[in-house]
Structure 1
Amino acid sequence: MAAELDGEYRDDQPLMIGVLTGAVAFMADLMKAMTIPLQIDFMAISSYGAATKSSGVVRILKDLNEDIEGRRLIVVEDIVDSGLTLQYLLEMLKARQPKDIRVVALLKKDKPDAIAVQTDRVGFFIPDEFVIGYGLDYAGQYRNLPYVAVLDPSVYTN
């Protein structure tokens, strides 16, 4: 994925936008593997709260520091689940008139009811299960695991 992005952006200096907090581990490894100059910024948005399913309500918790008008953007997501959060984020970013936007995601769930949303590169397609590790959490825990794992449903169901 890094080599593909290097090729696509070899004549530009893109702004890589990490979607906090889940994308941090993936973004760090991805940008270390890239060889082109780039800048980074972060946004924090949420549609989960403390639940394991998207609430459907998207909130901006932290906005960008950089002006993105006319810039080439690489949005880095940890996981595309319902597609709602990413759709909202892309609409908001497009309104700020960047030159273009590419979306890279570590994981994308295979969900028939998910919104069809732009994902230009995906590391792995996974079944519709709740996963943790490598930046992904449950109630703020497990982000530091060096791998991705399915969380046993007994942990979050009563």
Structure 2
Amino acid sequence: MDNNDLGSDIDKVLVTEDQIKARLVELAEEIDKDYAGKDLLIVGVLKGAVMVMADLARALHSHVTMDWMAVSSYGSGTQSSGVVRILKDLDADLTGRHVLVVEDIIDSGLTLSWLVSNLGSRGPASVEICTMLRKPEAAKVSIDVKYVGFDVPNEFVIGYGLDYAEKYRNVPFVATLAEHVYK
């Protein structure tokens, strides 16, 4: 899928496919260095992190174990309350393991803050976060993120795993969604 397939659905491209690929290589180099000789479990948060998780895992030069979680936060309308429900839990035991949570985007940080606390209670050696995108202006809680791909403005973005009504996840770049699509 490319710009031509999207018609007038996007306003502007924020991060190109080439920028994403290059940044993933850089992040993988950092992660390989930081976790050299350690038992690393990378945990993708479904559904959005599928693209990041797959591409990051392929860019790593060290052995890792992969697992997935699906969580849902809910509140009123489109705003997250930070109240989280686990839809799919990990299969792996975290005791003594180094855990790297892989996310597509961090907005308010409420769900991720809960998730890190939950994982931390399971006895891991460490829990860190890697995200492809972060919206600093949207943060409602402070979260220590060890690896960040790109900071983006507090706008509605799609692509590279991010969706609107389950569409646009397979767009290979990150773009702002045109307002006429969701209004």
TM-score interval for Structure 1 and Structure 2 normalised by the shorter chain: over 0.9
Structure 2: unaligned runs, 5 residues or longer: 1-26
Q: Which residue of 1 aligns with 2:91?
A: 65
Provide, for residues 78-115 of structure 1, a one-character-per-residue CA deviation record: whole Å limited to 9, x for no partner.
Answer: 10000001001011001101000110000000226521
Q: Which of 30, 33, 39 is the aligned partner of 1:7? A: 33
* Preserved CA contact (<8 Å) 2:69 2:88: yes
Cα distance in 2 between the residues matched to 1:94 and 1:140: 30
Per the normalisation by structure 2, the TM-score is 0.80
Alignment of 1:117-156 (within 5 A): 117-156=143-182
Compared CA separation, residues 57 and 8, structure 1 to 2 (3 A): same
Letter in structure 1 aligned against 2:97 = R
2:98 is equivalent to residue 76 of structure 1: no
Check 1:147–1:69 CA distance in 2 against 1; reply closer, same or farther (3 A cut).
Answer: same
- Across the aligned residues of Structure 1 and Structure 2, the Cα RMSD in angstroms comes to 1.6
| Equivalent residue number for residue 16 of structure 2 | none
Q: After TM superposition, give the deviation of residue 53 of structure 1 in Å.
A: 3.9
Find the residue that maps to 1:111 and give its secondary structure.
helix
Q: Which runs of 5+ in 1 are unaligned?
A: none
Corresponding residue SS for 1:58:
strand
Amino acid at match of 1:21: K
Bigger-Rg structure (1/2): 2
Q: TM-score by structure 1 length?
A: 0.92
Partners of 1:139 and 1:54 lie apart in 2 by 16
1:7 and 1:35 mapped to 2: Cα distance?
10
The secondary structure found in structure 2 opposite 1:69 is coil
Question: Is the CA contact 1:43–1:62 (under 8 Å) kept in the aligned structure 2?
Answer: yes
| AA at the equivalent of 1:30 | L
Aligned to 2:126: 100
Instruction: Specify the code of the residue in structure 2 equivalent to 1:154.
Output: H
Aligned to 1:85: 111
4+ long deviations beyond 3 Å: none
Aligned-pair identity in percent equals 51
**Higher relative contact order (Cα pairs below 8 Å, separated by 6+ residues):** 2
| Offset, 1:12 | 1.3
